[in-house]
Chain A
Amino acid sequence: MARLHPLTLLTAAVVPAVATLAIDRWPVSAVVLAVLVGLVAASGLGRTVLPAAAVVLAPLMLSLLLTHGFFFVEGQTVLWSAGPLHVTTEGLSFAADMGLRTAVFVVAFLAFSFSVQPADLLSVLTGLRVPPQFGFVLCSTLTLAPAITARARRISQAQQARGLVVGLGLPGRVRAVQQQAVPLVLALLHEAGSRAEFLEARGFGAPGPRSSYRLVPDSPGQRVFRWTALLLLVLFLVLWFGAVG
């Protein structure tokens, strides 16, 4: 995939997410989600974005189904009932509304975070005169997951080298994570502290304007896309809420 401007990617994530949120109908959300998943898969990001989205969405979907699917008090059309449990059409529809809308949001912004280059984003934010600390925190968040994984692996290896035997199966995994949690947090805090010192020593966060070495390619086509998409979104929101209101 060609390297797109971070604002183009952001627009591509914001427009479907906001539009779906506004429309708030599960069939529309389902169609948008299907299109998004298709686009993500076609762009080659499917292997990273979709499992991550599944990890975020699976517990959410399950809790929506449990709370609204079984206990939706406003539900009229009862499909199945046992004791306090009432599965109603309205409840399932509400759960589907909420779940699919969130799914569009999660997939769109995960696709954005996996496709944007943190360095590009910082460069663009610098150009927009966003305070460098804010830009740095935002970009560090995008690079945090691999750093945490690497650190957790090193701690786990050190613990095993000192005799911790990690058993197979879920109990073993849970026990291993429990052993790693405190050292991992302490190590990350320590690392953040020392990195802050070095960033400061290299003049980061100093008063005065910051410049950027990295050039982020943009094109008239991308600019047209961004403005058109945002204008259409605003126009749609005005018409939609005008009609609904």
Chain B
Amino acid sequence: MRLVLHEFLYPGDAAPALRDIDLHVLPGTCTLVAGGSGAGKSTLAKVLAGVLPGRHGGDLTGHFELGGERLEFTAAQPAVPASTGSPARPAVVGTRPRINPAAWNREIAYVGQEPSAQLSTVAATVAEELAFALENAGTPRPEMLRRVQETASAFGLTDLLERRPTELSGGELRRVTIAGAAVLEPKVLVLDEPTAGLDATARGQVEGQLQHLLGKGIGLVLLAPGLGGVGTLADRVVLLEQGRCVWAGPRGHAAAASEALEVPILPDPAAAAPEPALRRITPGVPKVATAVSLDRVQFSYGTRLKSLRLRPRSRQTQTVEPPKVLDGVSLAVGPGETVVIAGANGAGKSSLLRHLNGLARPDSGAVSIRGSDIGPLTTGEVAAEVGFLFQNPLDQLFERTVRREVAYGVRAAGRAAHSSRTADIGTSGTGTSGTGAFWTGPRPAAANDAVQEALERCGLREVAEAHPHELPVSQQRLVALATVLARRPAVLALDEPTVALDRPGVDRLAGAIRDEANRGAAVVLVTHDLDFAYATCGRLVLLSAGRILADGPMAEVLEEHFRNGRFVGVEAPEAWLRWRAERRSGPD
């Protein structure tokens, strides 16, 4: 498959979103398209998938070479009708072959970034979800059965076939969506960030899946913000910047090329400078008090005992205790501390984080902020002291502009802060709106400054009037971060903050974490990206099956538990492994 793309413009845009790209994918090879946020990776993926221009319009000039056929796209140009000589009623000339998606995805299949958005929503089981594309192509049922079974067994999904797609974990869902595309046995499979947000085990399984596809002679196109991780499967790398291919060549030379060309991609952790984690303890902040603490917290979903009927139609029931998500967790974090909570998917990390601002409430035990039990307070009241960054930015962005988004709640609290109600924790104000709901946040004089400062710290000044949904994912995440920073909380709880961030985004996040810690805030983050945590956090907490297995300074915990490079589904940071190896082979 070869795509020679001269230009692609979104409808109504003057500047092309993509230009000058020549992508040649041979069977059984993997091409990595790497670039920063807004470089045009997802647009390129959709052009390859035949989704763009499609019904959306836009102008594509270039051609596809696919299975010996050449598919030419020329731009739709307004033509002057010869009879009138007037451009008043332009006709459209140019070729825009109409793509039949069912035929196209048998040649080039596509797996996007967000697996849950790709579910058909009408399949009751994983088997039906896998068969969805086959159904759309009108495949006879006996052949569908055979291909679903074969694909499931090749990808280790046989046990999941009868499960509901909505009940799968993130890693399982990702594997199902990849298998759902592979079931068509396409010549090329396009995958947009296929391992984002997955733990080490799931990442390994997806990588295994991709290796299997390469072995079958399927050509892969991966789109990613960096060269590491799943990108190591690539033979060739294409560096994309501002919609243009700025470099293409073998993977081994890509890191040097990206540095030379200053392409803002994430560095390969394996190539990162190995620095010891010991000196990453925030200086200057006295550890006299506790910013946030959990005391013997027990938590399970569905706190009530479940009654199950022993037999259908029987009145005899048995009570079943729901499994514990957190099992006696105690943790205290002081002002200025930066703590990472690591563990496999399902270890209870996000649940622990949600306890910090009261989104989840312990079945037993207590959570305190600055020594005050948050039990009697609502989440909205706790928010005066705890800023929370959700995993999916779209879950927390809902305003019309970036500025309004960052100001949400902050200004409302500012306006209303003179009213009767005052928070009993911390220094922030709380105000009623007089209608049964009110906001908590900084005091009025500080509100505007806080919003402006947060926008600048996250590099969002230029896009302050843009709609959050129109921004690239990396900037959406920064908007979400800015909403947290603007509140100047005493505790920052960040859930997988690095997912989908590009290099400038990661740098801004790391800077914000350092600055917040220096200001005296406690920063608690949950991440699978231990390389990022190694560079930014001083303390590592390991969680497994709802219990804390280890808690201490980053270097000590790594030294104690990660001698084999991996522990409870968590991979040691590459930089630490290199540092350790260098120390061993050093003069002493």
A binds B: yes
Q: Which residues of A contact B (CB under 8 A)?
A: 117-120, 122, 126, 132, 136, 139-140, 143, 147, 154-155, 157-176, 179, 182-183, 186-187, 190-191, 194-195, 197-214
What's the least CB distance linking B290 to chain A, in Å?
21
Interface string of B111-130 (1 = CB under 8 A from A): 01010011011111101100
Q: Is the CB of A166 within 8 A of B380?
A: yes
User: Once the chains are docked, how many angstroms separate the CA of A182 from the CA of B412?
Assistant: 17
| Most-contacted residue by chain B among A126, A139, A165, A174 (CB, 10 A) | A165
| Most-contacted residue by chain B among A162, A212, A213 (CB, 10 A) | A162
Q: Is the CB of B134 within 8 A of A213?
A: yes
Q: Is the CB of A158 within 8 A of B398?
A: yes
Q: Which residues of B contact A (CB under 8 A)?
A: 46, 49-51, 54-55, 100-105, 109-110, 112, 114, 117-118, 120-125, 127-128, 131-141, 144-145, 148, 180-181, 357, 359, 378-381, 383-384, 386-388, 390, 394-396, 398-399, 408-410, 412-413, 430, 433, 435-441, 469, 483, 487
What's the least CB distance linking A68 to chain B, in Å?
35
What's the least CB distance linking A127 to chain B, in Å?
11
Task: Give 21 CB contacts A-B under 8 Å.
Answer: A119-B124, A161-B359, A161-B379, A163-B412, A164-B409, A169-B436, A172-B436, A186-B398, A187-B394, A200-B51, A201-B101, A201-B112, A202-B118, A202-B136, A203-B103, A204-B120, A205-B136, A206-B101, A208-B102, A208-B137, A213-B144
User: Once the chains are docked, how many angstroms separate the CA of A186 from the CA of B399?
Assistant: 9
Residue on B with the closest CB to A191? Answer: B117
Q: Is the CB of A207 within 8 A of B100?
A: yes
User: Once the chains are docked, how many angstroms separate the CA of A213 from the CA of B136?
Assistant: 10
What's the least CB distance linking A211 to chain B, in Å?
5
Q: Is the CB of B435 within 8 A of A161?
A: no
Q: Is the CB of A160 within 8 A of B139?
A: no
Q: Is the CB of A201 within 8 A of B49?
A: yes
Q: Is the CB of B440 within 8 A of A214?
A: no
The residues of B that contact A166 with a CB separation of less than 8 Å are 378, 380, 436-437
Interface residues of chain A: helix, strand, loop or mixed (majority): helix
Q: Is the CB of B141 within 8 A of A212?
A: yes
Q: Is the CB of A157 within 8 A of B51?
A: no
Q: Is the CB of B439 within 8 A of A200?
A: no
What's the least CB distance linking A205 to chain B, in Å?
7
The residues of A that contact B469 with a CB separation of less than 8 Å are 186, 190
User: Once the chains are docked, how many angstroms separate the CA of A54 from the CA of B378?
Assistant: 31
User: Once the chains are docked, how many angstroms separate the CA of A68 from the CA of B403?
Assistant: 52
Knowing A187-B394, A190-B469, A194-B117, say if A164 contacts B128 (CB, 8 Å): no
Residue on B with the closest CB to A182? Answer: B398
Q: Which of B105, B394, B487 contacts A202 (CB 8 A)?
A: B105
The residues of A that contact B438 with a CB separation of less than 8 Å are 164-165, 167
Q: Which of B135, B394, B436, B483 contacts A167 (CB 8 A)?
A: B436
Residue on A with the closest CB to B54? Answer: A200
Residue on A with the closest CB to B468? Answer: A186
Q: Is the CB of B379 within 8 A of A211?
A: no
